[in-house]
């Protein structure tokens, strides 16, 4: 069957099971959009208001489904507007298939209208990218890109298609035998390494397990629980591991990192065996590396061999898929309890409860705190909603005070820390999981970076709930300026628009809460709404997020105030 390259692309996407594209048309991708016109019964296209929104929405979609989210843009500025989302996906191991149009092959290198070297730009921030210059290459390139995005450690792939390749005709058949030279991810753990790890675990007196996003990617949450219950080991997670372990489970100790829990950070530096699963030992988790867990023998499990021994030396490095490794490790270990060790976590946890958690969730003054808003939201949703924060203080507050009960319930920008991520990512998550409550929690600063996507959720009737915690500051930067720059508040006091009028101009019902008495009713109305809904809560201007590990400090130097 002879078809144009543009139609071959559509056929390939359908054959791969792609049902949603987030995109924005333009000249160099117009033949593809013309072909898409005939496939709207098979593929839903969501017209975003900015290409960055397309990339973040595709990330949100991928984080829920586990399969590549697809975003599409034209050449030049359309393609470069995808770059932030692509870089974000690379940092956070999110499978993404970015498709861009390109000028005619004959014009490449001539500085043609809207010509940009998107292959050169995205080489450092993609697992793989490829420029299609002939229609005959297209189907195989897309299938190859899809597989690379998915297999091993997930990540973004970009396919750039010249305009002539979109117009040319080719014989279409779905490629079923695509070879990817040099790409053979190891998913099964080495049995000898598993045995060595099991021996360390069986002898440990103060073992501690920290897991990350890799456990959620591997769909290994049940295997993690089974391992923890047999081993009796206390469990914590990284920011991206949130929702991977039930917050009410007796072995769950909280999360680690710069704004994580007090006990988990302090006792990392007292563990004799530290098990890291599907996490990178990045700087936000380790603090000062030369003082990180030097007393512990480290077992590190990750599907990406490049992460092993990169930051923290591993006594037992294991390259494997988290699910396979946990199954093997659970079989190899003995059943144990560590009640005295766990009691130490409880003791330090109580200090945090008394000094930080209670005062912020049950404040005695009349100042509304972000923490109490999230605490009430968690109670009202029973910890079952998908929480999609933007980046900043509210992100850390959401991570700290929302009590997650279901996996894949926390979708956030971690490695890149991209302000503006929240709203479009929530949109993508809701499209992927229409049956789940999806709530974007944003600060007044980050919300304005992609607030135009309110029009997208309105036009497409995507019932995302948006909760803006407004302290009229760029709060995280202000906190650092307060603590470490002698309150020199340099360009963080932000003048905001009327958010309610803004939301209503996008045809989204909206309301503003200015005191504690109005919080419950506003949240109830938001959660009861059948379509999108917007709530702004005006919060204490100088609320800080504690605990906190100061930059350059060791993790056990974490501050409670």
Active site residue ranges: 51, 113-114, 163, 476
DSSP for 141-201 reads HHHHHHHHHHSSS--EEEEEEEHHHHHSEEE----S----TT-----SPPHHHHHHHHHHH
Q: With beta carbons less than 8 A apart as the criterion, state whether 391 and 408 touch.
A: no
The pair of three-digit structure tokens given for residue 557, joined into one six-digit string: 């130097």
Say how far residue 399 (Cα) sits from the centre of its chain.
Answer: 12
CA atoms within 13 A on the CB side of 52: 16
For residue 52, the 8-state DSSP code is H
End-to-end CA, the chain:
69
d(Cα 502, Cα 452) in Å, to the nearest integer? 9
Burial class (CB in 10 A: 0-12, 13-18, 19+), 79: buried
Measured CA distances, 432 to 65, 66, 462 (Å): 6, 10, 11
Whether 540 contacts 367, CB under 8 Å = yes
Longest Cα–Cα distance of the chain, Å, equals 73
d(CA 373, CA 469): 9
Q: How far is it, in rounded angstroms, from Cα 375 to Cα 519? A: 11
Return d(Cα 274, Cα 290) in angstroms, integer.
Answer: 16
Cα within 13 Å of Cα(405), Cβ side: 9
Q: Is the dihedral of CA 277, 399, 310, 157 positive or negative?
A: positive
Distance CA 264, CA 245 (A): 15
Q: How many helices (H) and strands (E) does the chain have?
A: 24, 19
| Torsion angles phi and psi, residue 276, rounded to 5 | -110, 125
379 DSSP β-pair partners? none
Residue 145 makes CB contacts below 8 A (sequence gap 6+) with 97, 128, 130, 157, 158, 159
Residue 373: C-alpha distances to residues 244, 430, 560 (Å): 23, 22, 21
Mark out the alpha helices in 334-470 (DSSP H runs): 339-352, 358-361, 370-381, 393-401, 422-432, 444-447, 453-459
Contact between residue 494 and residue 477 where contact means Cβ atoms under 8 Å apart: no
8-state DSSP, 334: P
Radius of gyration of the chain (CA): 24
């Amino acid at each position: 069957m002879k078809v144009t390259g543009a139609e071959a692309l559509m056929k390939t996407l359908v054959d791969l099971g792609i049902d949603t594209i987030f995109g924005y048309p333009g000249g160099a991708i117009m033949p593809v959009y013309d072909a898409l016109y005939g496939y709207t019964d098979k593929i839903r296209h969501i017209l975003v208001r900015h290409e960055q929104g397309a990339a973040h929405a595709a990330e949100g979609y991928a984080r829920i489904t586990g399969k590549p989210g697809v975003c599409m843009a034209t050449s030049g500025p359309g393609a470069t507007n995808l770059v932030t989302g692509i870089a974000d996906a690379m940092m956070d191991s999110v499978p993404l298939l970015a498709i861009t149009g390109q000028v005619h092959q004959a014009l490449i290198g001539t500085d043609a209208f809207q010509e940009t070297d998107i292959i050169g730009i995205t080489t450092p921030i993609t697992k793989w990218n490829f420029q299609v210059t002939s229609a005959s290459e297209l189907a195989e390139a897309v299938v190859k890109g899809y597989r690379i995005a998915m297999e091993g450690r997930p990540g973004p792939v970009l396919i750039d298609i010249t305009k002539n390749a979109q117009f040319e005709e080719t014989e279409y058949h779905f490629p079923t035998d695509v070879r990817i030279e040099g790409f053979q991810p190891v998913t099964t753990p080495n049995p000898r390494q598993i045995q060595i790890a099991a021996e360390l675990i069986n002898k440990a007196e103060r073992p501690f397990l920290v897991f990350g996003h890799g456990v959620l990617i591997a769909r290994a949450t049940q295997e993690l629980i089974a391992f923890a219950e047999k081993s009796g080991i206390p469990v914590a997670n990284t920011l991206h591991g949130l929702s991977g372990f039930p917050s009410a489970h007796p072995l769950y100790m909280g999360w680690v990192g710069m704004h994580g829990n007090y006990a988990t950070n302090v006792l990392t530096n007292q563990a004799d065996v530290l098990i890291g699963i599907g996490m990178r030992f990045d700087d936000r988790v380790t603090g000062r590396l030369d003082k990180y867990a030097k007393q512990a023998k480290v077992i590190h499990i990750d599907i990406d061999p490049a992460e092993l021994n990169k930051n923290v030396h591993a006594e037992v490095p294991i390259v494997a898929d988290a699910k396979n490794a946990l199954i093997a490790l659970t079989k190899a270990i003995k059943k144990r309890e560590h009640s005295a060790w766990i009691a130490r976590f409880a003791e330090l946890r109580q200090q945090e409860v008394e000094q930080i958690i209670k005062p912020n969730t049950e404040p005695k003054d009349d100042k509304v705190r972000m923490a109490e808003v999230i605490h009430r939201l968690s109670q009202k949703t029973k910890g079952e909603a998908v929480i999609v924060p933007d980046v900043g203080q509210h992100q850390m507050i959401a991570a700290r005070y929302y009590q997650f009960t279901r996996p894949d319930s926390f979708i956030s920008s971690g490695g890149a820390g991209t302000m503006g991520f929240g709203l479009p990512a929530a949109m993508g998550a809701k499209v992927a999981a229409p049956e789940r409550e999806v709530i974007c929690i944003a600060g007044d600063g980050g919300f304005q970076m992609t607030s135009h996507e309110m029009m997208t959720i309105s036009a497409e009737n995507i019932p995302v709930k948006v909760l803006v915690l407004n302290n009229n500051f760029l709060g995280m930067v202000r906190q650092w300026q307060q603590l470490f720059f002698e309150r020199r508040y340099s360009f963080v006091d932000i003048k905001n628009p009327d958010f309610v009028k803004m939301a209503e101009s996008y045809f989204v019902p909206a309301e503003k809460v200015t005191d504690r008495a109005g919080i419950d009713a506003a949240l109830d109305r938001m959660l009861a709404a059948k379509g999108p809904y917007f709530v702004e809560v005006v919060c204490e201007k100088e609320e800080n997020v504690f605990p906190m590990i100061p930059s350059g400090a060791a993790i056990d130097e974490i501050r409670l105030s």
